[in-house]
Amino acid sequence: MDYSGRVKALQKKLRRKKIDAILVSQPSNRRYLSGFTASDHDITESSGVLLIPARGKGLLLTDFRYMQQAENDVDGFKVKIYTRGLLALLKKLLPKMEIQRLAFETDYLLHSSYVSYGKAFKKIGVSLIPLSGVIEKMREVKDGDEIDAIRKSVRLNEQVFQEVFPKISCSMSEIEVALAIEQTMRKLGAESASFDSIVASGDNSALPHAVPSRQMVMRDRPLTIDMGLVLKGYCSDMTRTFVPGKASKKYKKIHRIVREAQRAGIAAIRPGITGKEADKAARDVIDDAGYGKYFGHSLGHGVGLQVHEAPRLSKIGNQKLKPGMIVTAEPGIYIPGWGGIRLENMLLVTDDGCEDLNSDATWLDI
């Protein structure tokens, strides 16, 4: 990964905004810029932050527990360990580095930290400057290394599905299927699941974000599996719906509509098109078939270091797609009291269209 190139690009943006440095605390942004793999919910005081000046070498500030990991992961940053907390170290570092305007990530810095930082920094002549979405914007277009990493994550996710699928039976509960999926992910080398696996049978499949329950897999009823994993930091996301047993005529009809809608969305994805236009291409198919009120979510979303990131393919998605973006296409129809069908693939936006990153091996078309 070209971490130094990313840092230089960020530093150029800081100089344009007349900002002396930025404090990066969001774990995915921190990993994107430095390669540091630690993740912690208490991101401002535990696993560490990046302090990146507008010019010169950046610093990774962390505590003793992450010292060895930081030294192993990070190249191009100076690692500094704090023993009396992050704020105490910053109060020493900022004057030495002649930082007066310090940017912070508005969407991630805790309000309590903002208040304590503001009081402490005022005494040393440092102003906190809110900055939103700058690093996330950089992450939207993936470079070659990222695309390769995501391809491998997608392949492994499909491999997991192929291993678990033949073992699924009506003697298993939704929870047991989800457990088998996530155990297989770990066994085959994934770091973790990229989200809690969704396994929804029968009526439960009408819930787009159903939580696996003790309900048994139902024969001759829809079964939706939405699964994804993390491999070397990068996420995958795939949904398949099928019927254990015999599919009804109604199921076959709706499955084909959803598949047609997905194909229409995929065909529309190309550079210059907006997320709104891609969403409409798929939505029109479902609307025309008379099931529009049963498709309530967006067509898709970006995937990278996080499983849900920009761009958004939705009714309000005005952002234009660019080559190198990776998005999902996942239309669905959800009918209360009957069930639901969602199909999801990941797509790479190319110079003249898009490439489906999923193979045909996991398709269960009928």
- CB contact at 8 A, 311 and 321: yes
Its sign, for the CA torsion 20, 25, 29, 33, is positive
273-294: b or e for each residue (b if 16 or more CB lie within 10 Å)? bbbbbbbbbbbebbeebebeeb
Cα three-residue angle 258-264-270, rounded to 5 degrees: 140
State the pLDDT confidence band at 307, using cuts at 50, 70 and 90.
Answer: very high
Domains and CATH numbers, the chain: 3-139 (3.40.350.10), 144-362 (3.90.230.10)
Where is 339: in which H helix or E strand? strand 339-342
Which amino acid, one-letter code, is at 154?
V
Q: What's the pLDDT at 39?
A: 67
Residue 77 corresponds to which tokens in the numbers above?
């940053």
CA-based nearest residue to 196, from 184, 214, 209, 215: 209
- Is the pLDDT score of 191 beyond 50? yes
Give residue-wise pLDDT tens across range 49-94. 999 999 999 999 998 888 888 888 898 999 999 988 899 999 999 9
pLDDT at 364 over 80: no
Average of per-residue pLDDT across 280-303: 98
- Report pLDDT for 40: 55
Q: Given this model, what pLDDT does residue 42 score?
A: 46
Predicted pLDDT at 161: 97
Count of residues for the chain?
A: 366
Contact predicate 241/227, CB 8 Å: no
Say how far apart CA 2 and CA 4 lie, in whole Å.
6
Q: Is 8 helix (H, G, I), strand (E, B) or coil?
A: helix
Tell me: pLDDT of 136 over 90: yes
Average pLDDT over residues 147-171: 97
Q: For position 53, what pLDDT does the model report?
A: 98
- The least confident of 105-109, 150-154, 245-249, 290-294 is 105-109
Per mean pLDDT, which range of 74-83, 307-316, 331-340 is the poorest? 74-83
What mean pLDDT is predicted for residues 145-151? Answer: 98
What mean pLDDT do residues 269-277 have? 98
Please report the pLDDT score of residue 66 as a whole number.
85
At residue 22 the predicted structure's pLDDT band, cuts being 50, 70 and 90, is: very high
Instruction: Select from 211, 213, 205, 278 the least CA-distant residue to 244.
Output: 205
- For the residues 214-243, what does the mean pLDDT come to? 97
Phi and psi dihedrals of 120, rounded to 5?
-70, -40
How far apart CA 46 and CA 266 sit, in angstroms, is: 42
- Sign of the alpha-carbon torsion through 357, 292, 338, 193: positive
- Mean pLDDT of the 290-305 span: 98
> Quick one: DSSP state of residue 293?
G
Least confident of 67-71, 176-180, 326-330: 67-71
